[in-house]
Amino acid sequence: MTDLFNSLAFVGKVKAKLHRSIEGTIKTVTVSLDPSGKYFASILTEAEGDNPVVSTDGKVIGVDLGLTHFAITSDGCKVSKYDNPKHLAKHEKNLKRKQQKLAKKQKGSNSRNQAKKTVAKVYERVTKSRQDFLHKLSRKLVNENQVVVVENLNVKGMVRNHNLAKAISDVGWGTFVNFLAYKLEKKGGKLVEIDRWFPSSKLCSNCYYQIDELPLDIREWNCPHCGTRHDRDVNAATNIRAEGIRILQTDGTAVSANGGEVRPKLGRKSVLRHSPTMLEAYTIVAST
C-alpha cells in the first residue's frame, strides 16, 4: 500500500477501501470523482515474473453475448445459458424509477440536486453488482477452458438504444471481454475475437447453410437445407466456437509473440488479443 500512497503524494495520505489485494508493481493510479460524491482510484499493475507460455491446447468455448441471456456458451457438447442476475434487474428497475423522479424536478432546485445524487448512488450499486457478476462468470469460463471465442463487440455497439438499462449491459459486455482477456492471459490461455460480419446467427451450425434473414424476434428456426431446428442463441454460440477453432487452425502461425491481426481466408478479419505484459486493473473506493 505504501506505493499507492507515494503515488498519491500530491494529496497526502488517503484512507481507502480495497476490493481486492493489489499484486505486482503499480504502474498508474487514476483518481476520479463519482457523481455520487465518492472518489475512486483505478490502479493499473504489472505482475512480476515470467508470462506464461500461451497454449491453445485444451478446451475451447464459444460465447454468444446477448440481451435475452447475458451469455450462452457452447463447449462442443454442452450448452449453458447465463441469465442476467436477478438482483441486478431489481437495481435497474429502481434506477429507472429514481430517474423518472429526477426528470420531474425543477431545474436548479435543491431537490433536483438531491435526486441527482440518489440516481448516481443507485447507478454505482448497479455497476458494482454487475462487475461482481462479470468477475465470477469470466473466472468460471477461464478456469474451465483454454480458449474463449467471442464476437467482436462492435456488433453490439451497432445496436443503438437509448434505454439506460440496456446501455449498462453494453458496458457489461466490454468489461466482460476485458476480464476474460486478462484472466486468460494470466493462465496462458487465449481469447479469440471473431469478425463482426461473421453471420453467427444466420448460419446453420449443422450443415453451414446460410439463411438470408433472421429478424431479432425469431428465437427458433428450421434450417431449410438440412431441417435442423435451432435455438437462435445456442446455434450462434456453436458457430462462434467453430469459427474460433477455424481461425486458430487457419492462421495459428500468425499469432506472434506480440499478437496482432490475423487475416484468415474468406476475407474475414479477426483480432487475437495478446499483449506482452500482464496488466490488471483494480478499482478502489476512497472513504472520507
In 3D space, the residue among 6, 48, 41, 123 whose CA is nearest the CA of residue 279 turns out to be 48
What separation in angstroms does the CA of 99 have from each of 124, 135, 138, 191, 282? 14, 27, 31, 37, 29
**How many other C-beta atoms are found inside a 10 Å radius of the C-beta of residue 113?**
12
**Cell numbers linked to 282:** 483494480
- From the candidates 64, 195, 243, 280, give the one annotated as an active-site residue: 64
Cβ proximity to Zn ion, 206 vs 283, nearer residue: 206
- From the candidates 92, 193, 195, 233, give the one annotated as an active-site residue: 233
The nearest distance, CB 222 to Zn ion, in angstroms, is 9
Q: Is 243 a catalytic residue?
A: no
For residue 241, give the 3-state DSSP assignment.
helix
Cβ proximity to Zn ion, 197 vs 209, nearer residue: 209
Helices (H), 76-231: 86-104, 110-144, 154-157, 164-187
Cβ proximity to Zn ion, 59 vs 225, nearer residue: 225
- From the candidates 151, 185, 243, 280, give the one annotated as an active-site residue: 151
The angle at the Cα of 242, spanning 236 to 247, to the nearest 5 degrees, equals 125
Q: Is 170 a catalytic residue?
A: no
Phi-psi region of 260 (alpha: psi -120 to 50; beta: other; left: phi over 0): left
Contact residues toward Zn ion (CB under 5 A) are 204, 206-207, 209, 223, 225-226, 228
In 3D space, the residue among 231, 237, 208, 199 whose CA is nearest the CA of residue 76 turns out to be 237
Give dist(CA 125, CA 130) in Å, integer.
9
The nearest distance, CB 268 to Zn ion, in angstroms, is 21
Q: Is 233 a catalytic residue?
A: yes
In this structure, are residues 210 and 226 in contact, taking their beta carbons and an 8 Å threshold? Answer: no
Cβ proximity to Zn ion, 166 vs 225, nearer residue: 225
Strands 16-18 vs 279-286: parallel, antiparallel or unpaired:
antiparallel
Cβ proximity to Zn ion, 205 vs 270, nearer residue: 205
Annotated catalytic sites, by residue? 64, 151, 233
